[in-house]
Amino acid sequence: MNKILLIIKREYLSRVKKKSFIIMTILGPVLMAGIMVVPIWLSMQKAEKQKVEVIDDSGLFKGLIPEKDGIVHFDYPPITLDQATKGFYDTDYDAILWMPKNIIEGGQAIKIFYKKQLGINTEEYMGTEISQMLKNTILAFNKVNINVIKDAEEHSKLKVITEKLETSGKSEKTNTGLFMGIGLGAGVLIYLFIFLYGVQVMRGVMEEKTNRIVEVILSSVKPFQLMMGKIVGVALVGLTQFVLWIILTTTLYSIAAVTVLKDVDMKQIQQKEQTYTTGADLRYTEMKKIQKPNAVTEVLNDFKSVDVKAIVLCFLFYFLGGYLMYSALFAAVGAAVDNEADTQQFMLPITIPLVFSFFIAQAIIQNPESPMAFWFSIIPFTSPIVMMVRLPFGVPGWQIALSMGLLVLGFLFTTWIAGRIYRTGILMYGKKVTWKELGKWLFYKG
């Protein structure tokens, strides 16, 4: 046992001291925090205000187009389109917005002339606002109560709220989209970690074998002890990096929340009643929302329904269980070959279940309680990813216990197989190994 601990210590310290480990440990949280903070920060930034010259030949909307704070400003000079276009470059306007005389009759489209390309938000805003105003004008012209239509449109936009009803009668709000994101995110992380650190084990074994260092090491320890020490040592490196990522990401986001994002207002919703008068002397009144509720607030509220502690604990278990099972096989492959080119024929059968479980997980999120979801979440070779995808949706305790138990048995079985291959292959050089040869190694005595 002491020898295994020494090997674990050697593998762990040799890797955590590498510059690549330190750089990735720092860079990872910075990138993750940036993904969370930057989109919110960008949404807070005020775009450059653009000045638009409006030429309204219809006479319906002069002085009526709502301006968007910090985005666009409209002026309505008493000139024709020809006059506006000829003197365009002598003005400080960014664009000319022209509305034809027969626009209310479904005539020509509105046109925007610009010096420099306008932002897509500005273009969409002008098109949407004018279309809405034109619609309201036509309805008012036909003496239709616009507010009735507005109320109907507003009340017909139903929000679907899902709640899980327990046998006790208690219900709890859920968010399917959020659960999908958490499940797939956890599955992708496990998929990447198993590949990343499993390949490190394989390459470490090959390197020691090709450099003949292993011959010196095996004079003091048994092959199985060396294999287990290497596997566990690299596992601790991955666990250390993952824990540091969580701590640093949380710290960076907390700092950003009280500095960069301190002015974010997630709760304020205001409404203002506005009365519009068109050029046809038609008046209509509507409620205009000038600020919408921030979607971040809803996600954070829904996040309260997620059992974060259980998901983190299960993530750590399935990460370690899946890694230990697959890395044992990766170590066996590294011991069986002399160079990385020869690993392909053995790597493919090992990685197929892992890759398949990632793709099948995308179908399982559509029905996380289907028979397919159940079976793939308890089979050891696919359970690390599939079970993590199912967990946010709620999984019965007995299924989790069965899945974990089978994963432990799967690790013990693959470790036994890997150990039999490792003890023979680690000292074999210059021979092209076949699947038939590996089968013989499993039953060698001694």
Q: What is the pLDDT of residues 349-399, one digit of tens each?
A: 888 888 888 888 878 888 888 888 899 999 999 999 999 888 888 888 899
The helix/strand/coil state of 56 is strand
Helices (H), 45-106: 81-86
Q: For residues 230 and 11, is the Cβ–Cβ distance under 8 A?
A: yes
Residue 158: what pLDDT? Answer: 66
Closest CA relative to residue 56, chosen from 121, 128, 126: 126
Q: What is the pLDDT of residue 287?
A: 45
Q: Which tokens sit at 101?
A: 């005389």
**What's the pLDDT at 402?**
94
The torsion angles phi and psi of 87, rounded to 5 degrees, stand at: -100, 15
| Residues 230, 233, 235, 241, CA torsion sign | negative
Q: What is the CATH architecture of 50-153?
A: 3-Layer(aba) Sandwich (3.40)
Does the predicted TM-score (pTM) go above 0.75? no
Q: What pLDDT, on a 0 to 100 scale, did the predictor assign at position 289?
A: 46
Q: Give the chain's residues under pLDDT 70.
A: 1, 39-48, 69-70, 104-108, 155-169, 171-175, 260-306, 430, 445-446
In the chain, where are the structural domains located? 50-153, 174-250+300-441
The confidence score (pLDDT) of residue 42 equals: 67
